[in-house]
Structure 1
Amino acid sequence: MTALISGSMAFDTIMVFRDRFSNHILPEQVQILNVSFMVPELRKEFGGCAGNIAYNLKLLGEIGIPLATVGADFEPYAQWLDRKGIPTDHIKVVDDSYTAQAFITTDEADNQITAFHPGAMSEAHQVRVPTDAGGRVGIVAPNGRDGMVQHAEQFAAAGIPFIFDPGQGLPMFEGEELLRFVEQARWVAVNDYESRLLQDRTGLALEALAERVEALVVTLGGEGSRIHTGGRVLEIPAVKPAALVDPTGCGDAYRAGLLYGLLNGLDWEITGRVASLMGSIKIEQAGTQNHGFTRDGFRMRFQQEFGTEM
């Protein structure tokens, strides 16, 4: 089954700082912040929300079609997607731009500082939501501003239910715009910080926002997640990873789990746990698209972690 994924495609440069940012940033001096972090570890990876979600969904046995714009430097990434069986039909190359680039520094407490160059992502509105690709569900993840707006409108017009996942793109929108996204979406997914910002900008409490969609998902990192649905709040436990290696891309892995549950008609208790396990598996590996598993292996681990079958 197929999901349509509006989101960024990016090259990630990931660096590890073997200390804590808090040990080197003086709160009373942030107005004149001028710091340098020595990062002996550096990797270049394929990333971006659409690419990461599609990769994770493919591991689960479903197809995710990225809806994105990229630069003239995209060819190595395109070859990777082809090898992984991820469609590239709705990825448009903008010849005079770079593919989006993320420069991510992670400290020992898994805090991250990211610099992001949008590049061709800003032209995401050039790609339309296809109505003939078999998409049963969609997601509007961080992408170019106009692309996010237009893809939400196109999903709604086509009657394709979608998740609104504003992520790092949330600060680009004012309250009325965010409420429009919520009204068009069937589901909303945010992390704890984003949920607070969403409430602040819209002027609505989380409970009021949850009443406007079928489910509102709030991820809480190592504390699991909460799913507000049908007037209830489901507490979804976190899965303890075998190793804490790299948190980059965990949110995208979690959202692939949500899409898998929606595509397969699973209830929210199971869907949330699939998403939770996906995030845990991702954090055990460096990079956003380097982890892997067999579907039988995933089902076995799911049963071991939660004491029930998928």
Structure 2
Amino acid sequence: MTTLICGSIAYDTIMVFHDRFKNHILPEQIHILNLAFLVPEMRREFGGCAGNIAYNLKLLGDAPLIMATVGDDAGPYLDRLDRLGLSRAHVRHVEGSYTAQAFITTDLDDNQITAFHPGAMSFSHHNRASDAAEATLAIVAPDGRDGMLRHAEDLAAARIPFIFDPGQGLPMFSGDEVLHFLDLARYACFNDYEARLACDRTGRSLDELAGRLEALIVTRGAEGSHIYAGGRRLDIPCAPAKAVVDPTGCGDAYRAGLLYGIARQWDWERTGRLAAVMGAIKVASRGGQNHVPSRGEIAGCFAAAFGRAPW
């Protein structure tokens, strides 16, 4: 089974301010805000939802396809995909643009100020999911608005089951558009905030939204996740992490576990627990793609958390 990952490829530039923002932002002066922060620590990470999900599926032993758009500065990322053995047959270069990127400044209290430039991501609608004829499962992850709509419609027309995963892109869509996505998709995945927003936008309850799908997954951070399927709610516990270092990319790692289990027609209990383990492994490492467990180590983490190996 070949899984198509429709979503963003991005660079994350992360800077650390060795002080607290609150010491430099004067509430009575915010109408003339003009600040500069000295950031002696800086690192650049490979990210984007499509890149992160594909990376985690590769760790599990899959060979996913990435469908994304990148800019003129994508060379280091494309080289990385080659080294990892991830196909870039459906990664489109948009000339005259930058690859999507986030610039994140963090202070000593872990507060963040982020600027995001979508760049080539805004042209994701030029990709057609139907071009990936070998795909048998897919996910529509955060990407350009028009691209997400087109990919969902293409996948539905091709009868390829997919997960609708709007993430931080959910506010771009009206309630009717969210319902349209759910009617095209077979599965959907939200975090708890996004689930509440989806209910608010659509005027429907979570149970009503779940009724339009084979399964609706709601992640809840350290409290685990809920999977609504077959008219019932399955509570998936959080897998213990060796350390809590950085949550960046945990949701993407979780989604890779979902896709792996769905592709193999596992039951939801087993699928959800693998997703939880992938998230726990990721949170112990800084950045979205720096954890390097072997498949055997992933199985060992699953067994330690849940009493038996997943395969």
TM norm structure 2: 0.92
Letter in 1 for 2:179: L
Q: Within 5 A, what are the aligned runs for 1:1-310?
A: 1-16=1-16, 32=31, 34=33, 39-106=39-106, 112-130=112-130, 132-310=132-310
Query: Is the 1:14–1:104 contact (alpha carbons within 8 Å) kept by the matching residues of 2?
Result: yes
Cα distance change on mapping 1:105 and 1:255 into 2, 3 Å: farther
Query: Is the 2:18–2:39 contact (alpha carbons within 8 Å) kept by the matching residues of 1?
Result: yes
Cα distance change on mapping 1:273 and 1:105 into 2, 3 Å: farther
In 2, Cα distance between equivalents of 1:196 and 1:21: 30
In 2, Cα distance between equivalents of 1:211 and 1:230: 9
* DSSP 3-state at the match of 2:96: coil
**What's the C-alpha RMSD, in Å, of the aligned pairs?**
2.2
* DSSP 3-state at the match of 2:104: strand
Structure 1 residues without counterparts, runs of 5 or longer: none
Structure 1 residues 38-47 or 85-94, which shifts more?
38-47
- How many percent identity over aligned positions? 60
* DSSP 3-state at the match of 2:87: coil
Cα displacement string for residues 219-272 of structure 1 (whole angstroms, at most 9, x for unaligned residues): 111111111111111111112211111111111111111111111111111111
Query: Is the 2:78–2:88 contact (alpha carbons within 8 Å) kept by the matching residues of 1?
Result: yes
* DSSP 3-state at the match of 1:218: strand
TM norm structure 1: 0.92
Cα distance change on mapping 1:209 and 1:293 into 2, 3 Å: same
* DSSP 3-state at the match of 1:88: strand
The alpha-carbon deviation at position 186 of structure 1 amounts to 0.4
Cα distance change on mapping 1:306 and 1:46 into 2, 3 Å: same
In 2, Cα distance between equivalents of 1:214 and 1:21: 45
In 2, Cα distance between equivalents of 1:3 and 1:265: 13
- Matched residue count: 309
Query: Is the 1:110–1:246 contact (alpha carbons within 8 Å) kept by the matching residues of 2?
Result: no
In 2, Cα distance between equivalents of 1:199 and 1:38: 41
In 2, Cα distance between equivalents of 1:72 and 1:2: 28
Query: Is the 1:110–1:247 contact (alpha carbons within 8 Å) kept by the matching residues of 2?
Result: no
